[in-house]
Structure 1
């Protein structure tokens, strides 16, 4: 799998493009806010820019997309896909992650980013995408995933403890491309 180096402008002037090293400070700031103020991630201490660079490098090293949404030179959010689990049998099953700047939430940017991420992962030959959503009250993320064809597959009840309360994890899944309709390793005609 490899990531195509193109950008996708939207009708609203929003540019969804592959991330660069220059985006890392903005990415880290967005994630730091999510860690310190949100329940979409169960991390409790925000990683620094160097750690975010390491994580991004791991995703890109696997040939997977790591995107940003940009408007007028400002990073509004980021999204990436990574292996659901490291074992070889999971290589066609990816997990998505999307984080938006607080001022950019509820504007449809997350949906545009997820649609682009799905398209890029399908082009890479991935067959399933999972959403592992922190907090069953995270209606925005759950709604965006449902709108793009994800189905509920389960809830891990009270599996995280953050901000003095138990949090559920919502599991959702969407078929990509031909899904499980045939072998992903079948010879191409």
Structure 2
């Protein structure tokens, strides 16, 4: 096409254009997880098991395993929270688990945050992290550890840095998933 043949596309007059409907605000509330939430939690987590390297799990977790984990964390008084849409859909969850089983580690936890795919990029991860940190402090916990995949988790690393987590180490080639070796970035935040 010759330059002189090109004509810029004309715009319709304002009164003939279809109305622009503003995008509905992204709304949610955060509350403690409950046993009936576990099917949604399982669905969210298993999406990442099957489709990403942010978890090194290769086998999807069963509902029975999630119910057991919920009961264990509830018994320990560990924070486990969910973000819920106005219609009641679970949009994501956050929890902490004991860092190690030895009693001396009882004030140190590892965090996990997972979002439904449609809820990513809207600030929900930050909101869950803030709530998780606050509830962990209220529970008397002192140190929070994040173990993050070294590939494909740049947003998670950046978010942890924004919350004051410091990188404390890296381990290379400790996981093998989707026919490739993966490492981890370890980060820590004091909750004192």
Task: Name structure 2 gaps, 5 residues minimum.
Answer: 1-24
Distance 1:70 1:121 in 2: 20
2:118 partner SS: helix
* TM-score, normalisation: structure 1: 0.85
The equivalent position to 1:78 in structure 2, one of 83, 86, 93, is 93
Instruction: Give how far 1:19 is off.
Output: 0.7
2:139 counterpart (117, 124, 133): 124
User: Is residue 69 of structure 2 the alignment partner of residue 55 of structure 1?
Assistant: yes
* Mapped partners of 2:69, 2:141: distance in 1: 20
Deviation at 1:12, TM superposition (A): 5.7
Measure the CA separation in 1 of the matches of 2:175 and 2:165. 23
Q: How far, CA to CA, are the matches of 1:126 and 1:51 in structure 2?
A: 25
The aligned residue for residue 184 of structure 1 is: none
Query: Aligned-residue CA RMSD in angstroms?
Result: 1.3
Say which of 17, 29, 34 aligns to 1:20: 34
Aligned structure 1 segments of 4 or more residues deviating by more than 4 angstroms:
none
Is the CA contact (8 Å cut-off) linking 2:29 and 2:83 kept in structure 1? yes
Contact 2:44 2:92 in 1 (8 A): yes
Number of positions where the alignment pairs a residue of Structure 1 with one of Structure 2: 167
**Residue 164 (structure 1) aligns with:** 179
Greater Cα radius of gyration, structure 1 or 2:
2
Structure 1 match to 2:130 = 115
SS of the residue corresponding to residue 144 of structure 2 reads strand
CA distance in 2, matches of 1:14, 1:146: 24
Q: What does residue 11 of structure 2 align with?
A: none
- SS of residue paired to 2:156: helix
Work out whether residues 106 and 140 of structure 1, in 8 Å CA contact, stay in contact via their aligned partners in 2: no
The match for 2:21 is none
TM-superposed deviation, 1:70: 0.7
Q: Which one of 106, 117, 122 corresponds to residue 102 of structure 1?
A: 117
- Checking the alignment, whether the CA contact within 8 Å between 1:95 and 1:132 is kept in structure 2 is yes
| 8 Å contact from structure 2 (residues 143, 189) kept in 1 | yes
Rounded to whole Å, the distance in 2 between the matches of 1:143 and 1:100 is 16
Q: Deviations over 1:37-90 (max 9, x none)?
A: 011110101011111111111111111111001112111101101110011110
Matching of residue 67 in structure 1 with residue 81 in structure 2: yes
Give the TM-score normalised by the residue count of structure 2: 0.84
Report the 3-state secondary structure (helix = DSSP H, G, I; strand = E; otherwise coil) of the residue aligned with 1:149: coil
- How much has 1:137 moved relative to structure 2? 3.3
- Unmatched tracts of structure 1, length 5 or more: 1-10, 178-189
